[in-house]
A and B are shown apart, each in its own frame.
Chain A
Amino acid sequence: MSETVGVAATARPRVSAKFRLQWEDAQQSWVLLYPEGMVKLNASAGEIMKRCDGSRSVDELVAELERAFEASGLHADVMNFLDMARKQHWIEM
């Protein structure tokens, strides 16, 4: 059984102070930088992470993504990603 609290829809995720998120032209991707290491994000992870700046709630973030990519039903995927990202300490709420 999972012990995680999960991610509340009203939470406002932001990139954790332990990481730095930046766009890397040479890699054509968003990356998370930390002491002596790097996580290269895939395109959708990058789109989510770059919106994690503490200004948007999860619901707003999903709505924005759905508008930007003319898609619907992204909520579950985004929640799954955010839950993973929180466990990895990439984001804070």
Chain B
Amino acid sequence: MNAPAPAPATTIGPPLWLLAEITYRCPLHCAFCYNPTDFAATTVELGTEDWLRVLREARAAGSVQCAFSGGEPLARDDLEVLVAEARRLGFYTNLLTSGVGLTEARAAALKAAGLDHIQLSFQDSTRELNDFLSHTRTFDLKQKVAAMIKANGWPMVMNCVIHRLNIDYIENIIDMAVELGAEYLELANSQYYSWALLNRDQLLPSREQIERAERITNERRQRYGDRIRIFFVVPDYYETRPKKCMNGWGSVFLTVTPDGTALPCHTAKMLPGLSFPNVRDMSVREIWYDSEGFNHFRGDDWMQEPCRSCPEKEKDRGGCRCQAYMLAGDAAAADPVCDKSAAHHTVLKAVDRAQGADSHALRAAPLVFRGPAESKRLIAEASEAARS
């Protein structure tokens, strides 16, 4: 692969968004998790001092939004220390959490540290679907956490990943969010990476399901008016043009994974032939402006047809590099969601399989739940396949 010449530094804006994935540890087992399926290979996490340095370097390079994510970020007991430093540096600090592990004491400590916002995800990991839908344990936990969020004066954003198995209950999800007092609700259809890709046949909703969910979402918007703002994100498999993934490669997003690998998006590590720097070895500024990994898909020298001559190439930047790699087998190809892509049929095939009653058989196949044991099994399977 020819390495494109790096774009002149003046055209590259600062890494406005820092996603700090501070741990892969998580009490949940979500079948749609975007963490890499081989996450169990990460055994050593960046320490507190390294994270503090990353925060300082990123802020100096112009980062302003900082999201603490994971895994479950509350699994780290230095979260409060990191938040306090981020806030002191002038970051707007977001905590992306399932709420599991948030006690009154930790909420108070996070408030004192200056945490600006909590995004609470529904603990719908599909294994707990019945519980979730029956409003019992999940509702109790969410109610407790929601009350803490309110009591501390944080704005409340709820996030629920939508998929085939919960989309028909979207009215329950919306009503629950309103009942809990959320100001924003993100109904984000699962995107098919990592664990969700393994489970795609079981998770991709049918067209009919999506249309119904959109209609109900609109009805609920009317009903609740200003009480809640609801965002509904359609799965991109049902589009004919790709999303402008990460707002463009190396344009605003910087992800740092639990082991310190710096990535232009949280799944980019899967791309072959690219090397991504580690914050232990390189400063954030160097990583952002000078590293091969971040410069690789900047500009348009890397583009092939149909992207290269496409009038819409700046609008979507060719879509998602990971999706191109996963579905077309080439990270520099057009995102197969695009109906101009030679591999668009791979998307259509998955969509076809999601329609109608015969998909019942697919749903009977077991879901692969995210977890360390499953991750180790997948790592072993992959190395077995590589040997043969």
Q: Using Cβ atoms and an 8 Å threshold, which residues of chain A touch B90?
A: 22
B-contact bits for A17-37, CB 8 A (1 contact / 0 none): 110101011110001011111
The reply to whether the CB of A74 lies closer than 8 angstroms to some CB of chain B is: no
Q: Which of B116, B119, B157 contacts A20 (CB 8 A)?
A: B116
B170 smallest CB distance to A (angstroms): 22
Kindly state the separation between the CA atoms of A5 and B67 in the bound complex, as whole angstroms.
Answer: 37
Across the interface, which residues of A come within 8 angstroms of B153, CB to CB? 17
Q: How many residue pairs at the A-B interface have CB separations less than 8 Å? A: 40
A27 touches B14 (CB 8 A): yes
Question: Which residues of chain B are within 8 angstroms of A24 by Cβ–Cβ distance?
Answer: 62, 64
Q: Flag if B64 contacts A35 (CB, 8 Å).
A: no
Contact partners of A35 in chain B: CB under 8 A: 94, 116-117, 119, 155, 157, 184
What is the CA–CA distance of A24 and B62 in the complex, to the nearest angstrom? 8
Q: Is the CB of A33 within 8 A of B155?
A: no
Rounded to whole angstroms, the CA-CA distance of A60 and B82 in the bound complex is: 41
For the complex, give the distance between the alpha carbons of A36 and B157 in Å. Answer: 10
Residues of A within 8 A of B14 (CB): 26-27
**A34-B64 CB under 8 A given contacts A20-B92, A20-B116, A27-B14:** no
The range of chain B's interface size is 10 to 19
Asked if A38 lies at the interface with its beta carbon under 8 angstroms from chain B, I say: yes
Task: Tally chain A residues at the interface, Cβ within 8 Å.
Answer: 15
B61 within 8 A of A: yes
Q: How far is the CB of A22 from chain B (nearest CB, A)?
A: 6
Is A36 within 8 A of B67, CB to CB? yes
Residues of B within 8 A of A18 (CB): 155
In the assembled complex, which residues on chain A have CB atoms less than 8 Å from the CB atom of B184?
35
A36-B119, A36-B157 given; A31·B67 CB < 8 A: no
Interface string of B59-87 (1 = CB under 8 A from A): 00110110100000000000000000000
Q: Taking A36-B94, A38-B16 as contacts, is the C-beta distance between A26 and B157 under 8 angstroms?
A: no
- How many Å lie between the Cα of A21 and that of B90 in the bound state? 11
Within 8 A of B (CB), among A1-54: 17-18, 20, 22, 24-27, 31, 33-38
Q: Cβ of A36 and Cβ of B64 under 8 Å apart?
A: no
CB distance from A77 to the nearest CB of B (A): 28
Give every chain B residue within 8 A of A33 (Cβ-Cβ).
64-65, 92, 116
Q: How far is the CB of A41 from chain B (nearest CB, A)?
A: 13
Q: Which residues of A lie under 8 Å from residue B62 when comparing CB positions?
A: 24-27
Q: How far is the CA of A18 from the CA of B92 in the complex (A)?
A: 12
Q: How far is it, in angstroms, between the C-alpha of A25 and the C-alpha of B116 when the chains are bound?
A: 21
Note all chain B residues with C-beta closer than 8 A to A22.
Answer: 90
Residues of B within 8 Å of A31, CB to CB, are 64
Nearest residue, chain B, Cβ from A26: B62
A22, A27, A36 — most chain B CB neighbours (10 Å): A36
- Mask, A52-80, CB within 8 Å of B = 1, is 00000000000000000000000000000
Contact of A38 among B64, B116, B117, B157 (CB under 8 A): B64
Q: How far is the CA of A36 from the CA of B155 in the complex (A)?
A: 11
A17–B155 CA distance with the chains assembled, in angstroms: 9
* Bound form: Cα–Cα A37–B62 in Å: 15
With a 10 A CB-CB cut-off, give which of B14, B16, B92, B119 has the most chain A CB atoms: B92
Q: Select the residue from B14, B61, B64 with max chain A CB neighbours within 10 A.
A: B64
6 contacts between A and B (CB under 8 A): A24-B64, A27-B62, A31-B64, A34-B92, A35-B117, A38-B64
Chain B residues near A (Cβ < 8 Å): 14, 16, 61-62, 64-65, 67, 90, 92, 94, 116-117, 119, 153, 155, 157, 184
Beyond the given pairs A18-B155, A33-B64, A34-B155, 18 more chain A to chain B contacts, judged by CB atoms under 8 angstroms and listed by A's residue number, are A17-B153, A22-B90, A24-B62, A24-B64, A25-B62, A26-B61, A26-B62, A27-B62, A34-B117, A35-B94, A35-B116, A35-B117, A35-B119, A35-B184, A36-B117, A36-B157, A38-B16, A38-B64
